[in-house]
Structure 1
Amino acid sequence: MAFWYDVEKNEVVESHRDGLTHGNLMGPYDTADAARNALKTAAERTAKWDKEDEEWNDR
């Protein structure tokens, strides 16, 4: 089972298959909680990568 976060509807979508193609989905995630936190996780990763890029460019 996979979980997705539907950005348009702001809800978790559960599926027994990984290949969902409708909507604006993030995932798949292993748990509903991970899917529910998709936007937070994406923001944290982006901030981390931006910092790494800045450090790399300052060399």
Structure 2
Amino acid sequence: MADEQFYYNPSTGEVTQGKEAAWDDRMGPYATREEAQAAIQTARERTKRADAAEEADENWGKPASWER
């Protein structure tokens, strides 16, 4: 049975069908070749959202009276 998922290799910029590269040189799996080609942009967007969520989580409002 062939691997029908797609992967993006950030070292080479190539999209492959199946796990051709080592795990540390592979992003995915993605359902389509187009999704794999957009892997870097998808990762950037997810990182921005995660950074914003983390920043919001760290904003606890005013410090406690003993911390002023």
Q: TM-score range by the shorter chain?
A: 0.7 to 0.9
More strand by share: 1
| AA partner of residue 53 (structure 2) | E
TM norm structure 2: 0.74
Which gives a bigger RCO, structure 1 or 2 (Cα 8 Å, sep 6+)? 1
**Rg bigger for which structure?**
2
Which 5+ residue runs of structure 2 have no aligned equivalent? 61-68
RMSD: 1.3
Equivalence for 1:50 = 51
Runs of 4+ deviating beyond 6 Å: none
- Count of aligned residue pairs for this structure pair: 55
Unaligned ranges ≥5, structure 1? none
Identity of aligned residues (%): 33
